[in-house]
Amino acid sequence: MSITVAASTPKPSGQSLKRLFVQVGVLPILLLLALIIFSLMSDNFLTVRNLTNVVRQSVFLAIVSLGQMMVLLTGGFDLSVGTILALTSVTTALSMSAFAVAMPDMLPLAILLGCCVGVACGSAVGLLNGIGVALFGVSPFIMTLGMSSIGFGAALYLTGGTPVYGMPADFGEFIGFGSFLQIPFPIWVAVALVCAAYVLVNWTRTGRSLYAVGGNIRAALLSGINTRATLLTVYVISAFLTGVAGVLMTARLDSGEANVGSSMPLESIAACVIAGVSLRGGIGRVENVVLGALFINLVQNGMNLARIDSYLQTVVIGMILIAAVISDQIRLRYVADLRD
Amino acid sequence: MTDATRPRTPGEPPLLELLRVSKQYPGVLALDGMNFNLRPGEVHVLFGENGAGKSTMISIISGAVQPTSGDLLMRGEPMRFASVHEARSRGVTTVFQEFSVVPSMTVEENLFLGSETRRGGFLAKRKMREEAHAILARLGFDLNPKAIVARLTRAEQQMVEIARAFRSELSVLILDEPTASLTDREADRLFALVDQVKAQGVGVIYITHRMREIERLADRITVLRDGKFITTVDASDVTQDELVRLMTGRVVGGIFPDIKANPGRTVLSIRGLTTASGSVKGADIDIRAGELVGLAGLVGSGKSEIMRAAFGLERAISGTVTLEGKDVTNQSPRRLLRAGFSYMPPDRRVEGLAMMRSCTENMTFASLDIKPIARGIFINRVKEDAEARRLADKLELHPRRPDRAVQAFSGGNQQKVLLARSLTRPISLYVFDEPTVGVDVGTRAAIYRFIGGLCEAGAAVVVISSDLPEILNLAHRAYVFYDGRVQDELPKARISEASILPLFFGKHAA
């Protein structure tokens, strides 16, 4: 044939860039950008001390995001994590100070019991979420939104809106500010939970069920997976993890506060989405979510050092979240493009 | 090259032409220097195995994806469609296999979606309703324009999809396996419509695996294999056997295997089953080990619903389901699966597969609780990978990459993943609901061999099918359903087209 044809070799560089983007997501790009921008803006940013600080501050968000990720994997989401944090904080402080008064000789036991009560109260919220979503088919949005109002009201009612003091000093000293092998105690807890979450998600039947339910709930049902139990469990796990974060935060603040955690739902979902967790369910990796949580704290820390107004910081976090969702959409388009 | 590749009148350019069009996906050259031309007023069939590049080719023509290289010409003019919308505005309309109707909207709203008739900025609802009535009447589709699409059957949704294509100004019409979920009568209506637009000078690109449709409709046939152009032939010059040889590159024997029957104990027994939805009304059936039973009937006759009810997907309000001597009426799919009952759903996208997860995971979803995959509460991923590789080899998954996401595979290979799942645990009763919908001839033969093998190994097998040849050639015994009831039970000797067809419409066998 005499017709000339455009070069028949494909463009490998563009394709492999696309593929890289599809595989790793937007997070590495964002992390790199943040590191460059903030080290230019402030000399103190890229120091060992500051970065350790960032890791320590990331603990709460990282733990909460682990739970949020698992819920997102099933195709739901948990808007009540902020409330669970507040309720745990308040109930931990109230019960621990009561136990401390009741058994002044056994303060370690009082501390332990207080922590258990706090985590149990937080988990109870998750159980209610799970019952609503799994058994009654309430949409996760409404169920967790409703519970966040109920929990927040309850926490305020219990405390009258004022911080709760009177916990044993050891609580804050060891759990909040203590360290082991020069690494702060909360970081140890976070590392343990991250490992546990990694194993749960990747190596257990429960973890696989999360992906199956989020990937295609009908297919999961027909494959003999207990979809209701899976949904119920995931909200309890999310609440449990958030409860642990709540106890750690209470120890750090040395008081029970009803108004902590209000930014948690947004930040934890942002951490997950930036880390490539799909809002449609079925896609997401633990290790990336931890990086996502670190990234958000890195940005906040960088903005603090650069003396960016705290109100404007909120604006930036919202913009990053939306940018991440947009990039998720673009990535999905590429996935469709790359598909045979 | 045969004479068929050249335009009929040398001076006039073809309606649509592809010149050495290629599409490169990472790791896969989906289309490799494809040549194709379409004349006005012809039906041009694309023929090839799943994964041969047919879908990629129509995606390029319809504007859904961009070619990596090569030219697309329309009436001799170079053309590049940036989107489906742009292609449509040039008169290139596609009815995709995957539906593009909005489930929550009505039939008429869907018909006019994106091109609503307006008067002074407001929707001209009455005018649209009249037009909708007119279109549906012209097409002979028995649909209520006010019906919500989500409540329609798959076949009816397909009709909406087709009706929409016929609404707009057409010059090229692309139909991708349009009859996959239509009844014969509805399909005949569609064929008449194709004839009608053909007479108006529209070029029709038609993808099908069914020989009957090729015989009925095709003017020319272009065969693709492994993303490459093989040949274009005049339909009148070619036999079915030749086509299959061209498609597969080898001589394929009969696609239906000879399956030996060896009926043993009764595995499943259903007595007087009535479902809450009324889709099944007091039906009795028995399934024995070592026997392949066909369930035939029209869409909605209860042939699928009875097995879905037995598998716990529909609630029974009376009657009993007995599996291996135990009453399992209204039990969950989970418990039935553990008792050795496997049900393979008809629509792999809706009920079968988690498309974004890997083949390995999709294969093992049903056996996470048993060895070798379970190790306590943990998953033994090493053994899981080994199991997936074994199944991928056994079912000839192509490409042999079970670690890749299911959505990266062609339809036939996705179906293989679904089949593989039923091999991951001990099963005594296999139910296949429309096992070969949208699957090419080669894969279809493989699936039949697979099903036959299970039966000969002593399992009880049920095949639910709207494809009559499947029932005629595979079943040792058949139940024909009509209006939720068993209209008749036929032994092998009495299974024939003449004896089954009247039963479809509620008549009794002569």
> Measured between CB atoms, does A177 come within 8 Å of chain B?
no
What average pLDDT does range A110-131 have in this prediction?
93
- A48 part of contact set with chain B, CB < 8 Å: no
Does the beta carbon of A14 lie under 8 angstroms from any beta carbon of chain B?
no
Number of Cβ atoms within 10 Å of the Cβ of B2: 12
> pLDDT value at position A336?
65
Mean pLDDT of A211-229: 88
Whole-angstrom Cα Rg for chain B: 24
Query: What interhelical angle do A140-159 and A107-130 show, nearest 10?
Result: 150
Distance between CA atoms of residues A187 and A181, nearest Å: 11
pLDDT-wise least confident of A219-223, B99-103, B310-314: B99-103
Burial of B376 (0-12, 13-18, 19+ CB in 10 A): exposed
Res A139 pLDDT > 90:
yes
Interface of B with A in 118-137 (CB under 8 A): none
Put simply, the chain B residues between 346 and 385 with a CB less than 8 A from any chain A CB are: 350-357, 361-362, 364-366, 368-369, 374, 377-379, 381
Residue A282 at interface with chain B, using a CB cutoff of 8 Å: yes
How far apart are the C-alpha atoms of B486 and B483, rounded to whole Å?
A: 8
Can you tell me whether residue B332 is helix, strand or coil?
Answer: coil
Q: Is the pLDDT of residue B168 over 60?
A: yes
Quote the crossing angle between the two packed helices A264-274 and A48-73, to the nearest 10°. Answer: 90
pLDDT at A70 over 90: yes
Task: Write down the pLDDT at residue B289.
Answer: 92
- Of B77, B87, B86, the closest CA to residue B19 belongs to B77
Whether the complex's predicted ipTM is more than 0.90 is answered with no
* pLDDT at residue B127 in the model: 84
Higher pLDDT, residue A82 or B350: A82
What pLDDT is attached to residue B27? 60
pLDDT greater than 50 at residue B6 = no
A15 neighbourhood in chain B, CB within 8 Å: 24, 26
- Of B223, B231, B203, whose CA–CA distance to B13 is shortest? B203
Q: Do β-strands B43-47 and B220-225 pair in parallel, antiparallel, or remain unpaired?
A: parallel
- Which of A95-99, A111-115, A318-322, B149-153 has the lowest average pLDDT? B149-153
A19–B contact, CB cutoff 8 A = yes
Cis preceding linkage at B399, omega within 30 = yes
Q: Are the CB atoms for B433 and B296 separated by under 8 Å?
A: no
Percent of chain B with pLDDT over 90: 24
Looking up tokens 């990472």 gives: B26
- Alpha carbons B113 and B224: distance in angstroms, whole number: 34
- Kindly state the average pLDDT of the residues B239-253: 70
Domains of chain B: 3-248 (3.40.50.300), 259-340+426-510 (3.40.50.300), 355-425 (no CATH)
Q: What is the residue-wise DSSP string for B208-267? A: ---HHHHHHH-SEEEEEETTEEEEEEEGGG--HHHHHHHHHSS----SS--PPP---SEE
pLDDT at A5: 40
Q: Is A221 on the interface with B (CB under 8 A)?
A: yes
Tokens of residue A9, six digits: 């070799």
| Nearest CA among A129, A101, A136, A97 for reference residue A114 | A97
> Is A332 in the B-facing interface, judged by CB distances under 8 Å?
no
- Say which residue, B466 or A302, is predicted with more confidence: A302
Shortest CB distance from B19 goes to which of A5, A19, A337?
Answer: A5
- Is the Cβ pair A212, B354 closer than 8 Å? yes
pLDDT number for residue B98? 65
Tell me whether residue A145 is exposed, middle or buried, using C-beta atoms within 10 angstroms of its C-beta: 0 to 12, 13 to 18, 19 or more. Answer: middle
The tokens for B121 are 């900025």
- From B173's Cα to the closest Cα of chain A, the distance in A is 23
User: pLDDT band at B75, cuts 50/70/90?
Assistant: confident
Q: Judge: B354–A216 Cβ closer than 8 Å, yes or no.
A: yes
Rounded distance, CA A145 to CA A143, Å?
A: 6
More confident residue, B261 or B155: B261
Chain B touched by A309 (CB under 8 Å):
no
- Whether the pLDDT of residue B322 is over 70: the answer is yes
**Cβ distance of B407 and A339 shorter than 8 Å:** yes
B56, B410, B421 ranked by CB distance to A223: nearest: B421
Interface membership of A23 toward B (CB under 8 Å): no
Of the candidates B28, B56, B338, which has its C-beta nearest A224's C-beta?
B338
Inform me whether the C-beta atom of residue A337 falls under 8 Å from chain B C-beta atoms. Answer: yes
Per-residue model confidence (pLDDT) at position A2? 40
Max mean pLDDT range (A60-74, B252-266, B402-416): A60-74
Residue A167 has pLDDT above 50, yes or no: yes
Nearest to A338 among B26, B69, B351 (CB): B26
Q: Among B131-140, B178-187, B320-329, where is mean pLDDT lowest?
A: B178-187
Question: At residue B358, does pLDDT exceed 50?
Answer: yes
Size of interface A-B (CB pairs under 8 A): 125
Cβ of B338 and A215 within 8 Å?
no
The answer, yes or no, to whether residue A331 has pLDDT greater than 80, is no
Residue for token pair 């009920």: B351
* B403 in contact with A, Cβ within 8 Å: no
Nearest to A212 among B313, B365, B409 (CB): B365
Q: Is the pLDDT of residue B508 over 90?
A: no
What pLDDT score does A283 carry? 87
pLDDT digits (tens, 9 = 90+) for B256-278: 888 888 888 999 999 999 998 88
Which of B21, B5, B17 has the alpha carbon at shortest distance from B57?
B21
% of chain B with per-residue pLDDT over 70: 93
CA of A210 vs chain B CAs: smallest distance (Å): 11
Q: Which of B25, B357, B410 sits opposite A282 (nearest CB)?
A: B357
B-chain CB neighbours of A1 within 8 Å are 19
Distance CA B110, CA B257 (A): 43
Q: Dig out the tokens for B9 from the structure.
A: 């009148």
Average pLDDT, chain B: 84
The mean pLDDT of A48-56, rounded to a whole number, is 88
Pairing between strand B460-464 and B266-275? unpaired
pLDDT at B11 exceeding the cut of 80: no
Tokens of B125: 């609802």
